[in-house]
Structure 1
Amino acid sequence: MHEIFFSLQGETSRMGLPTAFVRLTGCPLRCGYCDTAYAFQGGSTMELAEILDKVAATGAHYVTVTGGEPLAQKDCLPLLKQLCDAGYNVSIETGGSLDISGVDPRVSVILDIKTPGSGEVSKNLWTNLDHIKPKDEIKFVICNREDYEWARQVLQERQLAERCPVLFSPVYGEISARDLAEWGLADKLPVRFQVQLHKILWGEEPGR
């Protein structure tokens, strides 16, 4: 466990909703644009009951389990189940390199498909798409025009928009959000354009 904090959801269709974030330590990937490298190490061991107590103390209805890569922690799946059992509206943010088939079906999976610009495109576990539900979301973090073209091809070839909502997000400070928006509009892509609300509000301050 790295941290538990209460903030506004900055991404996905839940953007702007007050949310309790449970950030687990560790990640097998090293994306070039990673903004949570501080969670690769450190943290502390915490019992599931203690995590649920801390989440309850925030008063949140929405809970996002994130990382690092939360699925790298062996107790992530039981944690997700217990959060659902407790009545929370739960989502998990995963980098897409680890199997999501064991995730409780009540959880909304936010699956990040790694682009070439991330440096980790070879780690995409494409069989995860077989387990995507209509209420899940697929995210592409776009570094440049080449990433955009690659993501557009994957979107079309794998018919992702017919599976669930698809998100295109610009790398903060690396690519113009306006450019990405205009590319998508020009190509009439069936995707949700998003920026990171928490970074607009608080910059790159950890725990936000």
Structure 2
Amino acid sequence: MTAPQPTLRINEIFYSLQGETSRIGLPTVFIRLTGCPLRCGYCDTEYAFHEGESMPLSAILEKTKAYGAHYVTVTGGEPLAQKGCIDLLKALCDADYSVSLETSGALDVSKVDVRVSKIVDVKTPGSGEVTKNRWENLQYLTPHDEIKFVLCDVNDYQWAKQQLTEHNLVERCPVIFSPVFSTLEPGDLAEWVLRDHVPVRMQIQLHKYLWGEGRGK
């Protein structure tokens, strides 16, 4: 007897340019899952906390395929808060997409398909959720994964630099420092990174500079 296919609560599925990570600028299908156990002070997707509709896995794959893209990003909210996310990631990889997962790092990533590029967003003190970091996840990161720090101010920057050393992050995978949009001046962060010779990629959110903070972009 065939097992029933997973059903996930989907906030939105849309096609845009990847605005972050090493895939910045690449045409990408975004699958945004509903729900998140965190409440970061700078969250720009609060609408994903509760809004969404239930979709079977087959319907999600069909809608994704219609865009004709090679790159797919599963995001949220916190996508791993839904049990079916693991099945979705595997199905996307099996369909030969290049798949990335945007996760807060607060939930276990050990069961994520090894073909997926995990983008782990380490929460800083300025986020208000620093105690939610699941440092055990670091052991599951490989060179094709990425760690991201979203920085609110100079205190976050100094804290993030400390984590680079304490957890040997640069030796694990690429690391990104990104300023909170409209909060930390990108030029200031750029100067700090250059001044201190920090071995990270400094990045802004491309999509927000192109289209602002509207949904579906």
Q: TM-score range by the shorter chain?
A: over 0.9
* AA partner of residue 52 (structure 2): G
Residues of 2 paired with 1:98 and 1:135: CA distance? 19
Residue in structure 1 matched with residue 192 of structure 2 by the alignment = 183
Identical aligned residues as a percent: 66
Residue in structure 1 matched with residue 113 of structure 2 by the alignment = 104
State how many pairs are aligned: 208
Residues of 1 paired with 2:85 and 2:49: CA distance? 16
Residues of 2 paired with 1:142 and 1:19: CA distance? 25
Residues of 1 paired with 2:81 and 2:142: CA distance? 21
Residues of 1 paired with 2:197 and 2:51: CA distance? 44
Q: How does 1:28-67 map to 2 (within 5 A)?
A: 28-67=37-76
Q: Deviation of residue 207 (structure 1)?
A: 1.0
1:147 aligns with 2:156: yes
Residue in structure 2 matched with residue 72 of structure 1 by the alignment = 81
Residue in structure 2 matched with residue 203 of structure 1 by the alignment = 212
* AA partner of residue 13 (structure 1): S
Residues of 2 paired with 1:60 and 1:194: CA distance? 24
Q: Deviation of residue 158 (structure 1)?
A: 1.0
Residues of 2 paired with 1:69 and 1:107: CA distance? 16
Measured against aligned partners, the alpha-carbon deviations of 1:12-54 in whole angstroms (never above 9, x if no partner) come to 0000000000000000000000000000002010000000000
Q: Deviation of residue 157 (structure 1)?
A: 1.5
Residue in structure 2 matched with residue 171 of structure 1 by the alignment = 180
Alignment partner of 2:102: what SS? strand
Q: Deviation of residue 69 (structure 1)?
A: 0.2
Residues of 1 paired with 2:39 and 2:51: CA distance? 16
Select the residue among 14, 17, 25 that pairs with 2:26: 17
Measured against aligned partners, the alpha-carbon deviations of 1:116-152 in whole angstroms (never above 9, x if no partner) come to 0000000000000010011000000000000000000
151-160 vs 99-108, which moves further = 151-160
Residue in structure 2 matched with residue 193 of structure 1 by the alignment = 202
What is the TM-score with the length of structure 2 in the denominator? 0.95
Residue in structure 1 matched with residue 133 of structure 2 by the alignment = 124
Q: Deviation of residue 156 (structure 1)?
A: 1.3
Select the residue among 125, 136, 143 that pairs with 1:134: 143
Alignment partner of 1:45: what SS? strand
Residues of 1 paired with 2:167 and 2:137: CA distance? 12
What is the TM-score with the length of structure 1 in the denominator? 0.99
1:2 aligns with 2:11: yes
Residue in structure 2 matched with residue 26 of structure 1 by the alignment = 35
Residue in structure 2 matched with residue 82 of structure 1 by the alignment = 91
Residues of 2 paired with 1:202 and 1:104: CA distance? 32
Residues of 2 paired with 1:207 and 1:32: CA distance? 21
Alignment partner of 1:141: what SS? strand
Alignment partner of 2:53: what SS? coil
RMSD (CA atoms): 0.4
